[in-house]
Amino acid sequence: RIALATASMGAVLAGMFINLFAGTSESLNFAGIFLFGCFALPLYSLSAAHANDFARDGEYVLIATGMMFFWSIGAITGPLVASLLMQGFGPNVLFVFTSIVHMALVVMTMWRMTVRPTVPRSKRGRFIALLRTSPMMMKIAKRRD
């Protein structure tokens, strides 16, 4: 949960950085977007790992379904709300909006840390790095060497 709160707070700060320095320098724009992506994009994976640490046997599909459902609600409503805000207040409000949403995630994560104890390290799932491609493609790639 600390990683989730830290990444969310990083997205808040990067969003505010973009809002403050947008349009002043191309380098600052790229730096802000890079930082925002570094913190915001891993949030789904971090959330999935955290949720699966709390899952009991047989609940993994249910958790994945719930996460996809709520992710899709955000994917539908987020751009709609952001576009309405941008129409009313201008394009700079986009990253103010994302910062508010990420700050809500920080607050919720911190609150959950006080309500429910963390999973002991011995009961957490172990990370295993896997190839991003199929085994068949790996065999084909090895033949070319």
Residue 145's pLDDT is: 45
CA distances from 122 to 11, 117, 118, 126, 141 (A): 30, 14, 11, 9, 37
* pLDDT tens across the length of the chain (145 residues): 788 899 999 999 999 999 998 888 889 999 999 999 999 999 988 888 888 877 788 888 998 999 999 999 999 999 999 999 999 999 889 999 999 999 999 999 899 888 877 766 676 666 555 566 666 666 665 655 4
Task: Give pTM, 2 decimals.
Answer: 0.74
Instruction: At 81, list the tokens.
Output: 């709300």
Could you state, in order of their start, the residue ranges of all structural domains in the chain? Answer: 2-144
- Cβ of 97: how many Cβ atoms within 10 Å? 19
3-class DSSP assignment, residue 97: helix
